[in-house]
Chains A and B, each alone.
Chain A
Amino acid sequence: MSGTPVKVIFPSGMLGSGFDAATVPRGIDLGATAIAIDAGSTDSGPFYLGADQAKSARAAIKRDLRLLLTAARGANIPLVVGSCGTSGTDRGVDWAAEIVEEISAEQGLSFTLARVYSEQSADELTAALRAGRIHALPPAGDLDEETLQRCEHIVGLMGAEPMMAALTGGADVVLAGRASDTSMVAALALINELPAGPAWHAAKTVECGDQCTTNPRGGGVLVEIDEHGFTVAPLDPETSCTPASVAAHMLYENANPFRLLEPSGALDTSSATYTALDDRTVRVEGSRFEQAPHRTIKLEGSASTGYETMSFVGIADPAVLADLDRWLARLEEMTARRVYDSLGIDAGQYMIHLRCYGNDAVLGALQRPSEAPREVGVMMRVRAQTQEDATAIAKTANPLLLHLPLDGALHLPSFAFATSPAETDRGATYEFVLNHIIDIDDPLDLFRIKFSEVRHD
């Protein structure tokens, strides 16, 4: 295996987001040696890890997995899926395995499956914290034990090694818990003892599928990694990789465009060269990887913040819109008073966040001053310790959102509720509270691999 090039199909940036069904057969025809895909992210917020739910619909995941699984088994090449279930919890991995089992039964597939679990226990991390093995990443401060205990779920962001162990252990299909976006492709290259610079840089380049092409529209890419560099081209014949489109992807969702931190070290692309081989294929060489002196694993944790109810009311009344800040201040003040009078709930026990869509909802204080808007949608988010309280507070605010006049107005206005009921319970809400790394001695520390045989001949 030493130094043998790998050719990996990366069909899209996210399992379940859909991709052109012709993508994978094209890659197989071009001699692909593996398929990899990412099924998760923290980008859609803390809910998915906190509530342990997937962002994508089960049917959409199953559709994508069916195409990948049947193609991989048909060509007898490995399939590696990272961050199963969006957040990579243990249940997310088992959920993906259940879908894989269903498809295999329907298609008559047999293979060795590996599940790589990445969920962490707060108690074990508390012991590590006491031992001085957990450190903050900027801008986070030092971690305290209470924050760990508040987390509903904590996952460790694995690098390539746990997936490499699964593959060398005989897995045809790897379903991994939380894994860095790059780790699946890197693992496939590193098990062939290919150099880490090209392996990680190629992996970063294709982590969002055809995002590294000139016309991303869901066709996936094929990347070949060898001892000197990597070569990348789209699987959609209508789009291209150019030196600029490939180099620009190092900027995407990455704070530092020249360095990408991984558990085992840092990718350094400052000396990389990007060359067009033809009008749609790019060759990259000169990428380096600096092994870290000691390994660390990044932790992600999501803690409960209570329960929310949301109301939404539209205002077109020019007089109110001309004096919107004063109206909002009055709304907050009157709501607090009525919530205390009617419900006996003190202002310190809940939070209300108001934002005006059509005015400054998206940019807030960064928005430029402007003329009065034509219409705004006032979104009220109420957060309390129980759903019952959040709902009651929103219901108490309802008559104010409907009828609150400007101070001194002659007539009682009625504003435009968007829905009946005007309130929507949002259920439990969460926040990301960990931005920390833990020191590990062995790359497989914190992760657990479980092999099983799927047999449906």
Chain B
Amino acid sequence: MTNPTTPLGEFAEQVRSKNAGPFWITLDIFLRTEDDYEWLRNAGAITAATISALYLVPAEDIQIFEMATLCAIKISFPRPVTAGSLEDRDQHAGQQYLPLAQLEIPVQPVHS
């Protein structure tokens, strides 16, 4: 039997993406509670390897920041194509959160 999972976008309060200048993209995950934040950190779902697989970028270029006081995790990496170039599909990178929001993460057991 496989363990139940849920999309990160439903588990988190918000998952968002944006340019950090024309050469970088940054993703933010805001969790609802400290419990959820700790659960996600310990689930091993947000790693350079998982982000590399989702966004097709080299794992060694990925930076991950944990902000316990905000219950937030930030992920930044160089943009595969520069903002506004011919191949760029999303000028402000505002829709690029979706692969991360669709990432299936383990469901936290309900405390009885």
Contacts and interface: CB of A to CB of B under 8 A. Distances in A.
User: Do A and B share a complex?
Assistant: yes
Contacts of B70: 244, 247-248, 251
B86 A45 contact: no
Nearest to B23: A435
A418 to B, nearest CB: 19
B89 A251 contact: no
Interface-centre pick from B22, B65, B67 (highest chain A CB count, 10 A): B22
B90 interface: yes
A139 B23 contact: yes
B63 A256 contact: yes
Contacts of A43: 19, 22, 83, 91-92
Given A138-B78, A381-B86, A247 B69 contact: yes
Given A258-B65, A353-B87, A363 B98 contact: yes
A254 interface: yes
B87 A362 contact: no
A188 to B, nearest CB: 24
Given A45-B83, A253-B26, A364 B92 contact: no
A366 B54 contact: yes
A429 B28 CA distance: 31
B26 A364 contact: no
Interface residues of A, number: 40
A46 B23 CA distance: 12
Contacts of A430: 84
A140 interface: yes
A2 to B, nearest CB: 33
Interface in B74-90: 74, 76, 78, 82-87, 89-90
A255 B55 contact: no
A247 B56 CA distance: 30
Interface in A312-339: none
A372 interface: no
A439 interface: no
Contacts of A46: 22, 82-85
A289 interface: no
Contacts of A42: 21-22, 83
A355 B74 contact: no
Contacts of A138: 78
A364 B89 contact: yes
A353 B85 CA distance: 11
A368 interface: yes
B24 interface: yes
Nearest to A48: B84
Nearest to A300: B22
Interface string A344-386: 0000000101010000011111101000000000000101000
A95 interface: no
A3 interface: no
A46 B76 CA distance: 21
A417 interface: no
A364 B74 CA distance: 23
B26 A255 contact: yes
Interface in B20-77: 20-24, 26, 28, 30, 54-56, 61, 63, 65, 67, 69-70, 72, 74, 76
A252 interface: yes
A257 interface: yes
A351 B65 CA distance: 38
Contacts of A251: 26, 28, 67, 70, 72, 74
A432 B23 contact: yes
Interface string A283-319: 0000000000000000000000100100000000000
Interface in A245-291: 247-248, 251-258
A256 B65 contact: yes
Interface-centre pick from B30, B55, B69, B90 (highest chain A CB count, 10 A): B69
Contacts of B102: 368
B89 A45 contact: no
Interface of B: 18-24, 26, 28, 30, 54-56, 61, 63, 65, 67, 69-70, 72, 74, 76, 78, 82-87, 89-92, 95-96, 98-99, 102
Give the top 10 A-B pairs by smallest Cβ distance, nearest first: A45-B84, A139-B78, A255-B76, A255-B20, A46-B84, A432-B22, A366-B99, A362-B95, A255-B24, A435-B23
Interface of A: 42-47, 137-140, 244, 247-248, 251-258, 305, 308, 351, 353, 355, 361-366, 368, 381, 383, 429-432, 435
23 contacts: A43-B19, A43-B83, A45-B22, A139-B61, A247-B69, A251-B67, A252-B18, A253-B18, A253-B20, A253-B21, A255-B24, A255-B63, A256-B76, A305-B86, A363-B95, A363-B99, A366-B55, A366-B96, A381-B86, A429-B86, A430-B84, A431-B84, A432-B83
